[in-house]
Amino acid sequence: MKDKILVFIPMYNCEKQIVRVIDQLSGEVGKYLAEAIIVNNRSTDNGEEAVVEKIKESSFSFPVSVLRNVENYGLGGSHKVAFEYAIKHDFDYVIVLHGDDQGSIADLLPALKSGGYRKYDCCLGARFAPKSRLDGYSKFRIFGNHVFDFIFTVVMKRKVYDLGAGLNLYRVDMLKDRYFHTYPDNLTFNVYMLMATKAYEQHYCFFPLSWRETDQVSNAKVMSQAVKTLKMAVGFLIKGKEFLEQDSREKKIEQYEYQVVHREEGKQ
């Protein structure tokens, strides 16, 4: 039986890039998708309008919806919106594909074709895995990422190739106990999800990415992000699962709400 797979595209101020990401859903990969949602985290540019126009003029065999967060929840908060959507609508898997067009969903095609993803609770895209290709990455950023990958390899006692890139696949059954709800709503959300694979003994794998930086604008503040990440490594090393089970959000939100801005049904 064919799996019901949702693609979640988080969007924040990436008007130029998001339309290129929508194009990635065409072609061969579309055969494996049941639905796509673009979650607008209260962008201040014209990205939402650009997305609506793009999906109106496109022809997909599956529904595509544009959701708008009720408030700016952060990248982690947008993940929570999408995970709840996947749970509510009985999807089997959810693919996360960032809207800034750095990654390519085609990197998941080998696993989708073979069905190899079914062996794992999550498949994590890794910019620094063997056979990955980086375009436009500075040597300084590559070095810094390798340092933190090494730190988390020691902490997790398993080789880590990336703390969080913009292409991942998760089994929805694994998400149903909502262990992620109290994770930070900021850019460190993916690091918590990575640590959870160790704490909850999830079966996961890394896969190589084709990663590029061209006209993207990073929302990460390098030094503050590095300090936060180091503190997370120390906290998890000392407390383990207990560290993940504390509420690490700056603002406590009971329910991450959204509005459906636009929806296009699939064209047969």
Q: Which residue's entry shows tokens 């990436």?
A: 14
pLDDT of residue 72: 97
How confident is residue 184, by pLDDT bands cut at 50, 70 and 90? very high
Question: How many Cβ atoms are within 10 Å of 136's Cβ, its own excluded?
Answer: 12
CA angle 179, 225, 10 (to 5 degrees): 55
Q: What residues have CB less than 8 Å from 64, skipping those under 6 apart?
A: 22, 25, 35, 36, 37, 38, 55, 58, 263, 264, 266
pTM over 0.75: yes
> Residue 202: exposed, middle, or buried by beta-carbon count in 10 A (0-12, 13-18, 19+)?
middle
Q: Is the pLDDT of residue 214 over 90?
A: no
How confident is residue 218, by pLDDT bands cut at 50, 70 and 90? low
